[in-house]
Amino acid sequence: MPRIAYVDGAYVPLAEAAVPIEDRGFQFADGIYEVAASLNGRLFDWPAHAARLRRNLAELSIAEPMGPKALELVGRTLVRKNGAAQALLYIQVTRGNARRDHPFPAAARPTLVMTARPFDYAPRLRQQATGIKVLTQPEQRWGRCDLKTTGLLANVLAKQAARQAGAFEAWMIEPDGTVTEGASTNAWIVQPDGTLVTHPADRKILPGIMRDTLMRLARGAGMKIEERPFDLAEAERAAEAFITSTSAPCLGVVAIDGRPIGGGTPGPVSRRLGALLWDEIERQTGYRPAG
């Protein structure tokens, strides 16, 4: 089945989908995006994704191209047109197409683009069992990492360095050793007493939707959570470490820069949290990966 994209009001073959080269998304990375999982045609945690997208647009004074209900309808229609039972829905909104000049254009209309990429979560279950490796990288991003902007060059470079080193994810390290988050995931450690620790949702990290959902489930299961900065030395001493994101719900970290974490295998806390998340994913969407 040929893949279909949505570009500014039209469903078009992905290979022909295009925006003008003066679009500010291309010229300045002047835009934001959102990624939600569509499982069995249902968008997991959609209200939270729609709220984050709305907040991002408001923070950057980009007009909303359509309301959350219409956005959901277009997203679901696009997934259906792509015939994908399991997909990642990418929504991108830029400030629009205008003559290249830094200040906001007076009359530009925001550009709305969506794609639906078939996505198989089964490999994630295998990674959940084996764990993943992390490579540390210097934090080189800007001062508003809470905004999900398309300006991802520092994240791209960090992820590439990780993959070249045989690691799945890069952790961003500030000059004082603080671990902020991953290149495309939130970072967590587990203290020996079982307390979960993750960076506070301030301007230094993206407030991940999976981070929030995991927090809610963990609290519901009676676990203690500390939202505070932790540094690399503390991570290396931790009982466990793990990452969360929409496309990698909860994966145990078994090594950082080649040094084993905990027992060098995914620990019981991250495995339990992974199980809680899959239960929640199944509760909302009816989907559970085979494996």
Ligand X SMILES: Cc1ncc(COP(=O)(O)O)c(C=O)c1O
Question: Catalytic residues, which ones?
Answer: 148
Q: Exactly one of 115, 137, 245, 270 binds ligand X (CB under 6 A); which one?
A: 245
Count of residues binding ligand X (CB under 6 A)? 14
Measured from the CB atom, the residue of 212 and 234 that comes closer to ligand X is: 212
56 binds ligand X (CB under 6 A): no
Report the nearest approach of ligand X to the CB of residue 10 (Å): 27
Report the nearest approach of ligand X to the CB of residue 53 (Å): 11
Q: Exactly one of 186, 198, 270, 285 binds ligand X (CB under 6 A); which one?
A: 186
Angle at the Cα of 139 (from 138 to 145), degrees rounded to 5?
Answer: 165
Report the nearest approach of ligand X to the CB of residue 208 (Å): 3
Q: Exactly one of 246, 274, 280, 281 binds ligand X (CB under 6 A); which one?
A: 246
Report the nearest approach of ligand X to the CB of residue 249 (Å): 8
206 binds ligand X (CB under 6 A): yes
Three-class SS state of 205 = coil
Q: Pattern 24-43, binding to ligand X, x per CB under 6 A?
A: -----------x--------
Q: Residue 165: CB partners within 8 Å, gap ≥ 6? A: 135
Among residues 35, 42, 127, 33, which one has the least CA distance to residue 84? 42
Calpha distance 184→189 (Å, rounded)? 17
> Which residue type sits at 284?
Q
Q: Exactly one of 211, 235, 254, 277 binds ligand X (CB under 6 A); which one?
A: 211
The stretch among 4-12, 118-126, 244-252, 273-281 that binds ligand X (CB under 6 A) is 244-252
Cα 240 to Cα 101, 203, 214: the distances in Å are 48, 25, 16
Q: Residue 106: CB partners within 8 Å, gap ≥ 6? A: none
181 binds ligand X (CB under 6 A): yes
Q: Is 151 exposed, middle or buried (0-12, 13-18, 19+ CB in 10 A)?
A: middle
Among residues 45, 25, 6, 108, which one has the least CA distance to residue 247? 45
Among residues 19, 170, 22, which one has the least CA distance to residue 101? 22
65 binds ligand X (CB under 6 A): no
10: its two tokens: 């039209």
Q: Exactly one of 75, 110, 208, 252 binds ligand X (CB under 6 A); which one?
A: 208
Question: Which residue has the CB atom at the shortest distance from ligand X?
Answer: 208
What number of CA atoms fall less than 13 Å from residue 99's CA on the CB side?
2
The stretch among 13-21, 112-120, 163-171, 203-211 that binds ligand X (CB under 6 A) is 203-211
The stretch among 53-61, 79-87, 204-212, 220-228 that binds ligand X (CB under 6 A) is 204-212
Q: Where along the sequence are the contacts to ligand X (CB under 6 A)?
A: 35, 155, 181, 184-186, 206, 208-211, 244-246
